[in-house]
Amino acid sequence: MNHPQNQGVDLMKRWNSVVIFTLTLLPFLPHAHASGEGASLKGRIVDKGAGVVIPARLYLQDSTGTWHFAESADSNGSAVRYKVDRGGSVESHTTLSAHPFIASLPSGTCEITVERGKEYRTLKRTIDPSSLDGELTLELERWVDM
């Protein structure tokens, strides 16, 4: 039978093991920044000719190759995440409704790609979210009316 004193010692040994294990893993966790660095990207996707907000697919990839996903900035909007990894082929994007969006990104540059069907030209842009002043407007250009 264990003595109450031994149970306390065993509990402390287990707790120390958990703490040491956790501290050992911290450097390997992605995006674990002690300083909390990063940027919030706010934006909207508009039809360049009409000037109205339109639904579209938004791809966000940081400089390390990590994919990020946007959320709707409007309570009436929607944002559907799509992430499929088929070995050598990865598809990661957010399908956004016709509302403003917001995304949390790490510091540094980010490649943005916006698509909307066959009628619009794909928009690609590299940005640094921390250097933006205000909301980013991404204008999609219609090239054909189908």
Q: Domain ranges in the chain?
A: 1-30, 39-140
Q: Tokens standing for 39? A: 């940027």
**What pLDDT score was predicted for residue 125?**
97
Task: Write down how long the chain is.
Answer: 146
Band of residue 10 on the pLDDT scale cut at 50, 70, 90: confident
Q: Which CATH class is domain 39-140?
A: mainly beta
For the entire predicted model, the pTM comes to 0.72
pLDDT at position 146 is 80
Digit-coded pLDDT (tens) for 78-113: 999 999 988 888 899 999 999 999 999 998 999 999
* H or E stretch at 15: helix 4-25
The pLDDT score that the predictor gives to residue 36 is: 47
Between CA 46 and CA 53 the distance in angstroms is 4
